[in-house]
Amino acid sequence: MHILESIVLGIVQGLTEFLPVSSSGHLVLIQNVFGISEPQLFFDTMLHLGTLAAVVIVMWKDIIDLFKKPFLKLWYLVIATIPAVVFALLFEDLVEGAFSGVYLGYGFLFTACVLSLSEVIAKRNRKKRGLNSGSAAVMGIMQAIAILPGVSRSGSTIAGGLISGLDRKKAASFSFLMSIPVILGSVILQGYDILQDSSLSVDWIPTVIGTACAAVAGYFAVRFMLALIQKKRLFGFAIYVAVLGAFVLLDQYLLHMINWA
């Protein structure tokens, strides 16, 4: 992998992991547009470690609060994580096949619809609730759906929180906390596969640079979203992913400018 490729993939992974636009969708799109082969498993794992470091640095106070009695937030985090685990185990083949980009346009359009709908419902629901088992479950289900590329994890979970009656800051904060066990689980599973591969050779310079770019971009993305979500609505992101989804579908069915895998 070239250094420029690792920088591009690292920045894209870091930014889009926490913006409501789908990191997996953007990586699949970039790989198809520029003919970048799918990153090596070790490189992919390191990018995830970079984004994990970013969210831990920004959210460290919230992480510590999880382990303070009465452990309710920790329990809510467990509830929110279960659907993604179940979905990944039951639909492993579907998820792997989706990364070819065949459903990418539909995933972006789904994200646009979810973001827009959540804002409409949140505006009508003036009475805000605190985080509870129900809202954690709704956000967890949305996170499970977001395993598919093009469906934004952060966007879907924040939308789930808004639909459940959470205020904007609580929905965003818990959404980013939810990313920690998901990213950590992905790193552990990929790490196991790496240990099983005795033929693995690592190109360290692009890997380290890509990881650093993912961490720095992720750090600013988390801080940006936590500040933005309190002042602005998600319609701007909805328009962006809607246009992106329409372009992908137009190219897949009519233009054929991109060589989809």
Quote the CA–CA distance of 5 and 13 in Å, as a whole number: 12
Quote the CA–CA distance of 193 and 41 in Å, as a whole number: 8
260 domain-assigned: no
Angle at 214 between CA 135 and CA 42, to 5 degrees: 100
First to last CA, the chain: 19
94 domain-assigned: yes
Task: Per-residue pLDDT tens, the chain, 261 aa: give them.
Answer: 688 888 999 999 999 989 999 988 998 888 888 776 655 667 877 888 999 999 999 999 999 998 887 888 899 999 999 999 999 888 877 777 777 788 899 999 999 999 999 999 988 877 778 899 999 999 999 999 998 889 999 999 999 999 999 999 999 999 999 999 988 888 888 777 777 776 666 678 988 999 999 999 999 999 999 999 888 889 999 999 999 999 999 999 998 888 776
Strand, helix or coil for residue 117: helix
- What domain count does the chain have? 1
| Full residue range of the structural domain in which residue 10 is found | 3-255
Angle at 198 between CA 197 and CA 200, to 5 degrees: 70
Quote the CA–CA distance of 157 and 178 in Å, as a whole number: 9
73 domain-assigned: yes
Q: Determine the pLDDT at residue 242.
A: 97
Quote the CA–CA distance of 167 and 129 in Å, as a whole number: 7
100 domain-assigned: yes
Q: Determine the pLDDT at residue 126.
A: 73
248 domain-assigned: yes
Quote the CA–CA distance of 166 and 146 in Å, as a whole number: 20
pTM over 0.85? The answer is yes
- Angle at which helix 23-34 crosses helix 104-124, to 10 degrees, equals 150
Q: Determine the pLDDT at residue 1.
A: 66
Q: Determine the pLDDT at residue 41.
A: 65
261 domain-assigned: no
104 domain-assigned: yes
